[in-house]
Amino acid sequence: MTKIRDIEAVVFDVLGTLVDEPSGLRAAIRDALPGADDASADELLALWQRHVEHEQQRIAQGHRAYANTEIIDAEAAQRVADRAGLADPAAIARLATAGQRLPAWGDSVAGLERLAQHFPVLGLSNASRTALLRLNAHAGLRWHQAVSAESATAYKPAPEVYRLAIDAAGCPPDRVLMVAAHAWDLRGAQAVGMRTAYVERPVGDPPTTSDVFDGRFDGLEELAVALTVR
């Protein structure tokens, strides 16, 4: 197994890496629209995801002023409601906060706890500060520190977001390990000098043949062994 040495702090992506974002959003859509079949729920989920991705790209390209995930999720929820014919304001408002109620993957809580016995462990998420706080509480994620990209008024993979975690860790970037299920996220971390570890998840963005990360792991247990067993 790959061993990763000389690490002083571990930084985790949250959405997709520690929580199952698609299934949580899909469940919220089904709650708001109990009559929707699986195909309709999947179509509405795709609509939501496209909107979020498009708006974050517009912000990155300078075509829109920064808006946090609470604003963009509310827009996505309204798009879903409009497409599905949902008119209940209370149901739409609850749907807009679906990103704060995402389930943790089965190994996330125990994996964080184990690693936190050996390293400062940080979360670094595109979720807004408020959304990240509530998501962590819902999913049972416990951190030494959770950092929101909102503090940089940008979204990953903008370099200023990763620098938030490096500054919080208080050590050189090559001693900070970024862990994610998204290769694009790890490439962004590499660009500012961080070490990188890919953790496979069903909903992640897998590495290409040209990606070279410090390690690739099937889950957090395998990652913890690579970091802690001498």
Structural domain boundaries, residue 130 = 9-20+102-228
Q: Is residue 1 part of a domain?
A: no
Chosen domain end from 100, 130, 147: 100
Question: Which residues does 71 contact at the CB level (< 8 Å), separation at least 6?
Answer: none
| pLDDT tens-place values along the chain, 230 residues long | 578 999 999 999 999 999 999 999 999 999 999 999 999 999 999 999 999 999 999 999 999 999 999 999 999 999 999 999 999 999 999 999 999 999 999 999 999 999 999 999 999 999 999 999 999 999 999 999 999 999 999 999 999 999 999 999 999 999 999 999 999 999 999 999 999 999 999 998 999 999 999 999 999 999 999 999 87
Q: Are residues 48 and 120 in the same domain?
A: no
pLDDT of residue 69: 98
Q: Is residue 36 part of a domain?
A: yes
Given CA atoms 121, 169, 207, 51 in this order, what sign does their dihedral have? positive
Q: Are residues 28 and 16 in the same domain?
A: no
CATH (domain of 154): 3.40.50.1000
pLDDT of residue 1: 57
pLDDT of residue 49: 98
CATH (domain of 28): 1.10.150
